[in-house]
Amino acid sequence: MPPKDPESPPAETNASPFFTVPAPVKRLFDKFPLTTYPANEIPRRVQSHDNVNQLFVFTDARGARHGRPSFNPQCLKWQAYLKFVGIDFEITPSNNHASPTGALPFLLPSLPTDTSNPIPSHKLQKWAIEQVHCEEEQQLNLRFEVYASLLDHRIRNAWLYMLYLDSENFNAVARRLYVNPATTNSMVRAALCHQLQQAARDELLKTSRYIDAADLEGDAGGAFEALSTLLGKDEHFFGRPNPGLFDASVFAYTQLILDDNMGWKRNRLGQLLKEHPNLVQHRNRLLKFF
Amino acid sequence: MVLQLHVWGPAFSLPSIDAQCLAAIAYCSEVLPKDSWELIASSDPSVSPTGELPALQNDSVWVSRFRNIVDYLRQYSEGDWDLDQNLDEVQKADSVAFSSFVESRGQPLLDLSLYVTSQNYYTNTSPAYGALLQWPNQWILPPKLHAAAKTRTEHLGLSSLDLQAMEDQRQREHNAAVASGQIPKNLLPSQPSTVSKLLGRTAQTNQFRLVALTADFFEPLEAMLARTKTYLLPADKDNETPSSLDCLALAYLSLALVPDLAFPWLRDAMRSKAPLLAAYTERMRDRCLGEDSTPAQAFKPEEPSKLPWRAPERISVSTVGKTLLGTLADNTPFLSEVRQNRRLKRAVEEDESFSSVEKQALSSYADASTKDMFVSIAAVVAGTAALVGYMVQVGLLSFERRGADEEEFEEDVGMSHFEPESVNDILGI
């Protein structure tokens, strides 16, 4: 045993041996704080655009400068929707920790300037309708919600599988886009990777006991076929003259699945999607907005 | 060979307690000739190698999940047993989209109504499972299903329907108040937790959320039915026969409408918001599922009924052993992860539609994550050993017993001189 510290309180002998602070650790902590730094300044890039709506999405610095499509389907959906209805905004790279709801995207409106309340994604449509008086498309067609469930479940599940649980794709795409920008520490990266994959697995196991890749891909194939039939020969879904929320939701997945810059190693969804030329053309038409 | 459909058993006077099973029963009774199939209320997912119910057995072939069963029957009969054969392109697209809609919106509502709403779970659902499950599954499966339903509906933010969670929360707040010492324990008001009191606080917010959720689900279906009049997606020109979508919709809607629950918010919502849909559900139920089904009917099918019930086999000792071991393994932290990876692997290896490359990649993924797990176990063990070593070295943890009698103390002095060095030697510091 090391010699007893003369300064240690005499009560120590009564205390459990498990809860005494070992002398070297105590000596170390006695030195704290070594220095106290002044508080960080608010990042400059946030202050610089006071008069523009700021949409916070998953993207990299270069993508943000050129307003490129985000690499996250949920973010891309709202990014595309706001573009389609003609709202001016800038995108800012961000992550979930920055969001008031814990999920991206969210928008910091430029007006009114005094109250800068962020708008989470589920209120974005309402906000956009107030801004530019576009239609609430859900009300116009009873099939909107029905076909939207294809995107929100069947295609999303296949997407989760392809991006997170297919190990080659995960290493080539998800690790590069979501994990590597977050930190340079390899231990933290490993932990983040594990968390991401586990979250995807839990999400898929919620609805079934097994993760059956063939089933997920079959479902996604059926969903693409149904969407292709719904679109038919029209320019936009439900025969609208301008693209709207449903087009944005479809584009969010078709763009990322067909984008060569994503660097997919195994793109089964891409093969399924290319069987429907009208969906591919739909994506190419909408890509011109960016 | 007679086709055998294994399902969860009858409850609430419906032939099955599970929506997917009900859909499969309705589909089979609509499409299969009466003597070509049997219905078995095995109520145990482990009967099927796929580990899921409903499961259709044809000799050695097992098919599970409603959609796969529909596909299998079409292929097996070379197109004869297919309700959807006359649908055109647009109707097929509608069928896919509405099926996805019914499953994704209907399941959370049923989860909320039958499992998460505490009064209903404890007064109706749990006893229903008790009546149709055999020992030991009676004790193992319902809590699992209850927990699964809770996780599925977590994101809806309606946990206040769950009285147990509310009570836990209240208890925690209560304990926190006591622990912080702000209020003497005997002065704290002991709130009697009556149902109405607990619900009263959040009933209004709940009501708004529930109205929105049920409206989202019922409105598109009601509008669709208002156009077609007879069935959601009639499979022929005269609107006389239902399609596979109707079977699926019947399953989810009948579980919403038929059960006589303690807190029938879902049935009330359906009757008030979608009267056409309620009438349609009754009509479809008469047509496909027949009269009231009881567990007795399923387990001792003597009287002839509309559905070709066949008594399930008695549970064997080995099955009981397997169930118990499986449950034990699933509840052991590390083993459960290994089993989860195996499940993925096995599901993949059995699937013939995978190319060999894909198969290899997937099973190597499953292997890799098993390996990851062993590495993390090893890391934890090594870390613990290092920590213990360190604690011994600095004297935080010593194997001497202070305050014991003198003799031992003498010995320990010798020990404690020796010990740090030996630990240093071992760790090579």
Residues B151 and B270 in one domain: yes
Same structural domain for residues A100 and A153?
no
- Asked if residue A260 and residue A234 are part of one domain, the reply reads yes
Q: Please say whether the dihedral angle defined by the alpha carbons of residues B39, B42, B45 and B50, taken in this order, is positive or negative.
A: negative
B98 CA: distance to closest CA in chain A (Å): 6
3-state secondary structure chain A: CCCCCCCCCHHHHCCCHHHCCCHHHHHHHHCCCCCCCCCCCCCHHHHHCCCCEEEEECCCHHHHHHCCCCCCHHHHHHHHHHHHCCCCEEEEECCHHHCCCCCCCEEECCCCCCCCCCEEHHHHHHHHHHHHCCCCHHHCCCHHHHHHHHHHHHHHHHHHHHHHHCHHHHHHHHHHHHHCCCCCCHHHHHHHHHHHHHHHHHHHHHHCCCCCHHHHHHHHHHHHHHHHHHHCCCCCHHHCCCCCHHHHHHHHHHHHHHCHHHCCCCCHHHHHHHCCHHHHHHHHHHHCCC
| Inside any domain, residue B427 | no
Among the partner residues B101, B344, B394, nearest to A211 by beta-carbon distance: B344
Residue B292 lies in a domain: yes
Do A127 and A199 reside in the same domain of the chain? no
Neighboring chain A residues of B151 at a CB cutoff of 8 Å: 206
Least CB–CB distance from B220: residue in A2, A145, A150: A145
Considering chain A, what is the average pLDDT of its residues? 84
Separation between Cα atoms, residue A156 and residue A72, nearest integer Å: 12
Task: Give the per-residue pLDDT at B232.
Answer: 85
* Whether A190 and A255 share a structural domain: yes
CB nearest to A146's CB, from B90, B107, B220: B220
Residues A150, A91 within the same domain: no
The residue of chain B with its CA nearest to that of A149 is: B101
Question: By CA distance, what is B349's nearest residue in A?
Answer: A212
Contact B347 A146 (CB under 8 A): no
- The verdict on residue B325 lying in a domain is no
Last residue of a domain, one of A134, A153, A177: A134
Q: Are residues B24 and B156 in the same domain?
A: yes
Chain A nearest-CA residue for B220: A142
pLDDT of residue B424: 45
**Same domain, yes or no: A193 and A257:** yes
Q: What is the pLDDT of residue B342?
A: 62
The CATH number that applies at residue A237 is: 1.20.1050
- For residue A17, list chain B residues with Cβ-Cβ distance below 8 A: 396-398, 402
**d(C-alpha B381, C-alpha B359), whole Å:** 33
Asked if B352 and B246 sit in the same domain, the reply is no
Domain boundary among A134, A149, A177: A134
Q: Which of B150, B142, B140 is nearest to B125 (CA)?
A: B142
* Residue type (1 letter), B277: L
Instruction: Give CA–CA dist B408/B410, Å, rounded.
Output: 5
* B217-273 pLDDT per residue, tens: 999 999 988 888 888 888 777 777 889 999 999 999 999 999 998 888 899 999 999
Domain boundary, last residue among A116, A134, A152: A134
B356 plus B214 within the same structural domain: no
Residue A180 and residue A143 share a domain: yes
B chain contacts of residue A149, beta-carbon cutoff 8 Å: 97, 100-101, 104-105
* B198 and B305 both lie in a single domain: yes
Q: Does the distance separating the beta carbons of A2 and B358 come in below 8 Å? A: no
Q: Is the domain of A145 the same as that of A269? A: yes
Q: Is residue B422 part of a domain?
A: no
CB pairs under 8 A between A and B: 115
A19 falls within a domain: no
Q: Which chain A residues are closer than 8 Å to B105 by Cβ?
A: 149
Contact B216 A208 (CB under 8 A): no
Residues A59 and A169 in one domain: no
Indicate whether A171 and A275 sit together in one domain: yes
Q: Which of B94, B96, B353 to mutate to test the interface with A (most CBs of A within 10 A)?
A: B96
Per-residue confidence (pLDDT) for residue B227, from 0 to 100: 86
Q: What is the pLDDT of residue B72?
A: 92
Is there a contact between A167 and B98 if contact means CB atoms under 8 Å apart? no
Does the beta-carbon distance from B97 to A230 stay under 8 Å? yes
Give the residue numbers spanning the domain of B353.
332-393
> In terms of domains, do B345 and B295 share one?
no
Final residue belonging to a domain, choices B318, B342, B369: B318
Residue B270 resides in a domain: yes
- Name the residue among B90, B103, B105 with its Cβ closest to that of A229: B90
Contacts of A229 in chain B (CB under 8 A): 89-90, 92-93
Flag whether A91 is in a domain. Answer: yes
Distance CA B286, CA B309 (A): 17
- Which residues of chain B fall short of a pLDDT of 70? 159-160, 162-167, 170, 174, 176-205, 315, 332-369, 396-429
- Which pLDDT score is estimated for A1? 42
For residue A81, the domain's CATH number is: 3.40.30.10
Number of domains in chain A: 2
Residue B344: alpha-carbon gap to chain centroid: 17
Question: Which of B94, B100, B354 has its CB closest to that of A149?
Answer: B100
Asked if residue A37 belongs to a domain, the reply is: no
The residue range of the domain holding A217 is 139-287
> Which positions in chain B touch A164 (Cβ < 8 Å)?
none
| pLDDT, tens digit, 9 for 90 and up, residues A189-218 | 999 999 999 999 889 888 887 788 888 999
Are A186 and A227 contained in the same domain?
yes
Residue B217 resides in a domain: yes
**How many domains does chain B fold into?**
2
A2 contacts in chain B (CB < 8 Å): 394-395
Q: Is the pTM of this model over 0.80?
A: no
In Å, how far is A42's CA from the nearest CA of chain B? 33
| B113 and B207 together in one domain | yes
Distance from CA of B372 to the nearest CA of A (A): 10
Could B348 and A225 be called an inter-chain contact, meaning their C-beta atoms sit closer than 8 Å? Answer: no
What is the structure's pLDDT at A49?
53
Identify from B100, B105, B156, B413 which residue to disrupt to test chain A contact, counting A C-beta atoms within 10 A and taking the largest count: B100
* Nearest-neighbour CA in chain B from A266: distance (Å): 9
Mean pLDDT across the stretch A24-37? 82
Residue A89 contacts by C-beta under 8 Å, 6 or more apart in sequence?
Answer: A52, A53, A54, A55, A82, A107
A177 with A64, same domain: the answer is no
Asked if B98 lies within 8 A of A146 by C-beta distance, the reply is yes
Hey, are the CB atoms on A13 and B402 less than 8 Å from each other?
yes
**In terms of CA atoms, which chain B residue is nearest residue A21?**
B396
> Is the model's pLDDT at A157 over the cut of 90?
yes
Chain A residues with CB-CB distance to B340 below 8 A = 201, 205
